[in-house]
Structure 1
Amino acid sequence: MISGTRYNLTLEINRQLSLAQQIAYGQAQISTTKRLQAPSDDPVAAARIAQIGITQVNESAWNTNLANAAAAASRADTALGAVENALGRANELMISAANGTLSAADRSTIALELRSIADELSALQVTKDSRGNDLFPSSAPTQIPVGDGLTIAAVGTKADIFQVDTSSGPQDMAAIIGAAADALDANDPAAIGQSLDDIGAAVQHAATEHGKQGARGNRIDQFIDGLADSGLQLKEERSGLEDTDVTAVVAKLQSQELTLQAAQAVFARVNQHTLFDLLG
């Protein structure tokens, strides 16, 4: 009888200790807002949370890269807009100068403006990015990592943008405009006609390159949007695996605390009996 009673008491003590541990665990879940207090609580969920964490770190780095790429692409788009405007103005000037009725003074005035445009184009070639580096690289464009095994170029090279294929071979935009100014100063009809053709080719080339730059910017925006969607999905999945459902845990805690209190009360009453009471 005594042995059986001791066995029952031991079972009851262990049951109450287990309840107390469960209550402490629930309280820790609430205070830390984390459902898992150790990987062993749910190894499968813990492994997935670790994988999500690595992906989130990678995506944070890719987002930083994309922000820099977007800034460079925007600056390049602005520069190419200025190139188009400058070439458009040069084209207007050459069309007006090609009619052959202008005086030497008029041609000189147009040539002076053309040289100013050539200087502007030369300055645009060496536009700097936010870090003070050349926006348009002289060599291959920098490939920026933006995903797992994915890279993009935010801008084209200097040669891609400012070298124009003309009937007389590749020429620099600024040099084309400078040659047009020289043709006007020399009043050389053949050279003026050639310059007009070359400037027309430069206008078309600039429009094409500006379109390519717009496509680069759109692609960067698509990557940014894709990472934003991925980030939300990962955050929601991680929250579902990791975060405490406070309402559910509080309800369970209240039930466990009531059970423990009742068990302790019964245990206290039972153990008020003496050994002789138990023997009797």
Structure 2
Amino acid sequence: MITATRYRAMAEINRQAKLSTAIARAESDISTGKRIQVASDDPIAAARVSVIRAAQADQAVWARNVQTAKSIAGQVDTALSNVSDIFNRVKELTLAGASESVSSSDRAAMVQELNSLRTALTNISTSTTPTGQSLFPTDAPLLVSTSATQRLPATAQRSTVFDGIAYAHGTASLDWVIGSAVDAISTDDVAARRTAADTALSDIDKAVSHVTTQHAAQGLRAAQLDSAAESLESASIQLSEERSTLEDTDVASTVMSLNAKTLSLQAAQMAFAKVNRNTLFDLLS
């Protein structure tokens, strides 16, 4: 009889110990916000969380790549806007310089401004990013990884933007057409100057059209990068939600379970204490 009672007491003590462990674990789950603390807590969910964690690490790298590429694309867009402004001004000066009423001193000032615009164009073509990379690289632009399967450029090759324009006389650069405008305005003979200016104006229009096309192409690159950023953000949200479902503590249900276990432990302790107040003679009777 005493042995049986001893075993029952030990069993009750073990049951209460398990309840205490479960309560401590529930409290830990609530305080940390994580229900999986070691893989053995839920091996299947832990394995999936590991896969998600790796995917999130990859996405963090791709997201940084996209942000860097978007920054470069924004700088390129600004640069091309400046090139457009340059050629709009070149056209204004060429039209004004072709007039027979313009004085030689005015034409000299126009030539000086055109040369300044030419220098500005060269500076834009050779400009760099804050990290020292060419904004318009001489080689093919670096393709930026935005996913496991997608690589996108942030800019265009320098020769694509500034060279290879088809003019009336043949193929030449953007710089060349400003030089032809300078030559036209520098011509003293009015008739010859007007003829040269007309040819230069035609070429300037072709240059403006080329810059507009390049600007539009840059807009498409920027749109692709924006789309990649949106896709990464969407995927990141989905992964975070799935990971949270697998890994995070369901606070409401855990609190309910904690309360139930706490009440059970308290009741068991009270009952155990009451039973064990009996004397040996009480047990033998």
TM-score (structure 1 length as normaliser): 0.90
One-letter amino acid of the counterpart of residue 95, structure 1: L
SS at match of 2:166: strand
One-letter amino acid of the counterpart of residue 256, structure 2: A
1:118 and 1:175 in contact (8 A); partners too: no
Q: Does 1:177 align with 2:182?
A: no
Task: Say which of 214, 220, 231 aligns to 1:209.
Answer: 214
Alpha-carbon shift at residue 129 of structure 1 (Å) = 0.9
Partner residue, 1:119: 119
Alpha-carbon shift at residue 168 of structure 1 (Å) = 3.3
Give the Cα separation in 1 of the matches to 2:75 and 2:175: 20
Q: Which runs of 5 or more residues in structure 1 are unaligned?
A: none
One-letter amino acid of the counterpart of residue 197, structure 1: S
Correspondence 1:116-265 to 2 at 5 A: 116-163=116-163, 164-186=165-187, 187=189, 188=192, 191-265=196-270
Alpha-carbon shift at residue 83 of structure 1 (Å) = 0.4
SS at match of 2:145: strand
Matched positions, count: 280
Partner residue, 2:45: 45
2:95 and 2:197 in contact (8 A); partners too: no
One-letter amino acid of the counterpart of residue 195, structure 1: A
SS at match of 1:241: helix
Q: Does 1:36 align with 2:41?
A: no
Give the Cα separation in 2 of the matches to 1:57 and 1:130: 26
SS at match of 1:128: coil
2:162 and 2:173 in contact (8 A); partners too: yes
The worse-fitting range, judged by mean Cα deviation, of 268-277 and 67-76 is 268-277
Give the Cα separation in 2 of the matches to 1:48 and 1:166: 61
Give the Cα separation in 2 of the matches to 1:278 and 1:180: 118
Alpha-carbon shift at residue 66 of structure 1 (Å) = 1.5
One-letter amino acid of the counterpart of residue 5, structure 2: T
Alpha-carbon shift at residue 7 of structure 1 (Å) = 3.3
The worse-fitting range, judged by mean Cα deviation, of 177-186 and 117-126 is 177-186
The worse-fitting range, judged by mean Cα deviation, of 212-221 and 181-190 is 181-190
The worse-fitting range, judged by mean Cα deviation, of 195-204 and 183-192 is 183-192
Q: Does 1:24 align with 2:29?
A: no
Which digits, 9 at most, give the CA deviation of each residue in 1:94-142, with x for residues without a partner? 3344466655445444333322221111111112212132211110101
The worse-fitting range, judged by mean Cα deviation, of 35-44 and 102-111 is 102-111
Give the Cα separation in 1 of the matches to 2:170 and 2:11: 96
Measured on the aligned residues, the alpha-carbon RMSD in Å equals 2.1
Q: Which runs of 5 or more residues in structure 2 are unaligned?
A: none
Alpha-carbon shift at residue 158 of structure 1 (Å) = 0.9
TM-score (structure 2 length as normaliser): 0.89
Alpha-carbon shift at residue 153 of structure 1 (Å) = 0.8
2:118 and 2:175 in contact (8 A); partners too: yes
Task: Say which of 254, 275, 278 aligns to 1:270.
Answer: 275
Give the Cα separation in 1 of the matches to 2:100 and 2:148: 60
One-letter amino acid of the counterpart of residue 172, structure 2: Q
